[in-house]
Each structure stands twice: as structure tokens, then as C-alpha cells.
Amino acid sequence: MCDVILLDPKSTESDLFIGCVGYENRSLEAYKKNMASDFVGHSLIFDYCSGDLLSYPENRSNKLLNKAQLIEDFGNFIEAISEYLSENEPVSVQLDVTSFDREKLAQILKNLFDHSSQVATVTICYFPMAFSPPSHSLEIVRSFGPVIPAFIGEASFSRDALALIIGAGYEYGRAVGAIDMLEPDRIYCMSPVGTDPRFEVEIERNNLEFSFLDEDELLQRYDLLRPETLFYDMRRIVEFENQERNVLILPMGPKIFAAVSIILALVLHPSIMVWRHSTATTNAPSSTSDAIASGADIRMAFKFSD
């Protein structure tokens, strides 16, 4: 894979918008903002077809979607992205990561890396949710493994230890469950701050006060509003640990953390593993919850290096 150079998001203008319509109220927030600012590019939107689940009916009936190319089959969606990049190069892409699940997000980002010569810039946007109290009960983990096969990692006889980097999330006890299964030699926990202090209290509580960390300095708090700093801090940790240990990133926190993790794994492919640890499935709506946008608009932009 190729490397990336971070850019000022204010300096980028997009030709292609990639987003989705799903059950979260906030899933169309970036698209609606684009339409309000007279976006003249092409919009490709994946339709999760979530039936009557939560805010999906309201989102799907939004008349602004008439101006977008809506696709229900994800394989066709990836093909449509590839075709647009091939027919209109170089393309500046805006990718809204807010409501994509981590597997689909990884496939989209890998597709952009695969077409790096046809991509001028990529702007990642993320609309965090407004605070709502989380559950304090354990849920059944329905998926635990690489987000996509590309992130299964590489076998190395020089590295037989494991460093686990966890993106602290809102879900009760899930980090501890992952640690019990993986038994890593070193654990880093990345915990978001910067949008609402109530989130910070609940994240600490639902991660059992981070009592699973051996040393205080292995708890890294990052500013959710500054994803470029998160990128550089994560890269420093990953490259340092990868000299002696296999590195696995478990992005359970906000989707912007997942996006940064996936980008790093693609840059450093095949050394870095990125796994998902999910309770949500289409057949288990009780494991999902709605999310309303808080009003913050978080962005990170990059171009591919030559």
C-alpha cells in the first residue's frame, strides 16, 4: 500500500461524496449539510434497507435523496465507487464515516487505497452523537475477528508477543472481554475527550475505570476534535510496538477512531491487524441504538504520497 500526507480539511473541495442512509438519525447529517451548501459533485449513498428500525423510515423518506445515486447492494456500491474514480480521475472524495459499520468502512477505504493514483484527496467527516446514557449491562458479542481479510496480519518469527491498542467505547465491559480472549503482552487504551464530559465519565465507568492497564501512561486520552493529532500519536505507538510485537487495533470507540485505525493499517499493510468486536447485527435490533448528531463536524483530510 502507499503512504498518506495529511492536509488541512478546509483546503479540500470534493467531487464525490460517499455516505449511507441507515437507522441512526444522524446518518444523513453530512449529506444534508452538503446539499445546504449547494454541493455540485456526485453523491453515492449506500442504503442499509433497515426497514422500520429506529430513524430509518424518516431518513429514507428524505426528498434530498432524490439527488443522490442510491445503491442497496454493497458489492455494487463498491463497483460504483471504482467506476466513478476511473472515469473522472483525479477525484477529490468526501467520505462520511458516521454511520457505516466498520467492515464496510474498511472495504471503502481499501478501495480508495487500491485506486490511489486516481484519487486527488480524501476528506473524512464524522458527526458525533449527542449524549444519551449508555447501557450498563453486558451484551452478546456476535462478531470478533479481522474487519476484513486484509487485516488478518502477517506471521513473523521475530515477533511473538502481542500489543493491543483499544479504542475505548461506550459499551459495558467489552474491552475487558477482548483482553481476556486475546491475552496481550501490552495494552494501550485510547480514550476520547472533547465533545461532552458526560461521555468521558460513562466511558471510564463502562471500561471499569481502566483498571486492566498495567501502567497509567498506557491510557492515552485523545481530542476527538483533532483527528490529525490522533493519527500521528497512533502511528508513533504502532511503529514503535511493531518493532518487537505484533500489533492489533480494536477500534471500539467513535467511528473517526476506526477510520484512523484502518488508514494506518492500510499504510503499514500487512503488519497491522484491525479487528471488530461487535454486538450489532441486522437480525438483532435490540443491540442497536439511535444516535442524534451533536452539531460537531469533525474532519481529517489526506492525499496519497507519490
pLDDT digits (tens, 9 = 90+) for 54-65: 999 999 999 999
3-state secondary structure at position 108: helix
C-alpha–C-alpha distance, residues 186 and 218, integer Å: 9
Q: pLDDT at residue 287 above 70?
A: no
pTM value surpassing 0.75? yes
Q: Looking at residue 1, what is its pLDDT?
A: 67
State the maximum Cα–Cα separation within the chain, in Å, rounded to a whole number. 56
Measured distance CA(167)–CA(220) in Å, rounded: 10
Predicted confidence at residue 157, as pLDDT, reads 52
Q: Give me the chain's average pLDDT, please.
A: 91
Higher pLDDT, 153 or 34: 34
Average pLDDT over residues 230-259: 95
Taking residues 270-297, report their average pLDDT: 77
Burial class (CB in 10 A: 0-12, 13-18, 19+), 164: buried
Alpha-carbon distance of 56 to 23, in angstroms, equals 4
The mean pLDDT of 23-27, rounded to a whole number, is 97
Task: Supply the pLDDT for residue 142.
Answer: 62
Q: Domains in the chain, please, with CATH?
A: 4-130+289-304 (3.40.50), 143-285 (3.40.50)
Cross-strand bridge partners of residue 96: 125
pLDDT of residue 286: 46
Question: Which of 142-151, 182-191, 260-269, 291-300 has the lowest average pLDDT?
Answer: 142-151
What SS3 class is residue 282? coil
Count other Cβ atoms within 10 Å, centred on residue 297.
15
pLDDT in tens, 118-151: 999 999 999 999 998 877 676 666 678 899 999 9
Determine the average pLDDT of the residues in 21-35: 97
According to the model, what pLDDT value does residue 179 have?
A: 87
DSSP 257: H
- Secondary structure (DSSP) of 153-183: ----TT--EEEEEEE--SSTTHHHHHHHHH-
Q: Hey, which residues does 277 pair with through a beta bridge?
A: 144
Q: Is the pLDDT confidence value at 159 over 90?
A: no
Nearest-Å Rg of the Cα atoms of the chain is 19
Q: Give the up-direction half-sphere exposure of residue 74: CA atoms within 13 A in the CB hemisphere.
A: 14
Please give the single-letter amino acid code of residue 140.
Answer: I
pLDDT value of residue 285: 43
